[in-house]
Amino acid sequence: MTKKTILRALAGETLPTPPIWMMRQAGRYLPEYRTTRAEAGDFLKLCYNPELAAEVTLQPIRRYGFDAAILFADILLLPQALGADLWFETGEGPRLSTIGDMAGVRALRPIADIHETLAPIYETVKLLAAELPRETTLIGFAGAPWTVATYMIAGRGTKDQGPAHALKSSDRAAFSALIDVITEATILYLSAQVSAGAEVVKLFDSWAGSLKGQDFTDFAVKPAARIISALKAMHPGLPVIAFPREGGDGYVGFARATGADCVAIDNSVTPEWAAAHVQIDGCVQGNLAPHHMVSGGQELVEATRHVVKAFRGGPHIFNLGHGITPDANPDNVQLMIDTVRGA
């Protein structure tokens, strides 16, 4: 059987047409997603319902024929499995109970117990492994420790991750202990996804860009390296994509420092810069600006061709620089795909 295109790119092969998938490709911009979410009742019920979570994962594959499907879940399911209270405020996003000291870290559930809560997620992976087209790669994922910690400390998303930075400065021991717990739990969580059928895993460090200097090394690079090393020891040959969003110069050498097979980049850096500084170490994923999925037109076509051309000299997986937004036009997604495959 011919190796799947995403796996070929992750192995370092330069392909004439880059494989393509899209962050948040299963989501609110699709009418069929909105129908299924209404059936589920709320977002968390959707995440924990294997049949419905598999259905929304499959919807963009049926509609567009992407080269990969990414498990439908949320990065905050892991803190919930560790004992955090988690709920979603309509129109505002996630809320969690907060951790602000070592006592809070010690009060978390034992890492080995996370599978009790996360078992439905593994069942979703099993369903997808059975139902996806043969040529479609199944990607599992988790939030990277720093990003997950920012939510666990603040109890919500914040613009500057201020509460996490404050704890890091005032009680580095407690902060580091929390990072360690999340790191070890993430290894178990992703390993279970792979055992259930995920062929690739991705680490989303959505707030990596607010870490500077030694903190970027200590809390973005080192946890990713620990996770990737452990996963590859448990699952030899497993490809891993790392996404230290808005990492800037931190993207340079990130693959070598962590063992990642691919570095996903956001659209704050140009494709030419990334080709020169990041793609030299292996596969790059990215990096069309998500606003093109709203505006469309010739500008979308030209920007898509620009990304494809810039990365043509090495292994590349075409994607957006961040997730598609709820106001995107589904027709623009098809235009992007047609442009990539015809470019």
48 is catalytic: no
- Rounded distance, CA 121 to CA 196, Å? 9
HSE toward the beta carbon, residue 126, CA cutoff 13 A: 10
Sheet of 68-70: strand order equals: 68-70, 137-143, 200-205, 240-244, 262-264, 283-288, 316-320
| Cα separation values, 335 from 4, 106, 151, 289, 290, Å | 23, 50, 35, 14, 13
DSSP conformational letter for 42: S
- Rounded distance, CA 55 to CA 12, Å? 31
Among residues 8, 28, 156, 341, which one is catalytic? 28
- Rounded distance, CA 47 to CA 167, Å? 30
37 is catalytic: yes
Which residues, listed in sequence order, are joined to residue 35 by a DSSP beta bridge?
Answer: none
Phi, psi for 253 (deg, rounded to 5): 80, 5
Among residues 29, 64, 122, 151, which one is catalytic? 151
For residue 69, give the 3-state DSSP assignment.
strand
| Cα separation values, 216 from 39, 146, 203, 322, Å | 41, 9, 15, 20
HSE toward the beta carbon, residue 42, CA cutoff 13 A: 9
Taking the CB of residue 150, how many other CB atoms lie within 10 A of it? 24
| Cα separation values, 96 from 1, 40, 85, 156, Å | 45, 21, 5, 6
Among residues 37, 109, 305, 312, which one is catalytic? 37
Phi, psi for 247 (deg, rounded to 5): -70, -20
Among residues 74, 101, 113, 215, which one is catalytic? 74
28 is catalytic: yes
Catalytic machinery residues: 24, 28, 37, 74, 151
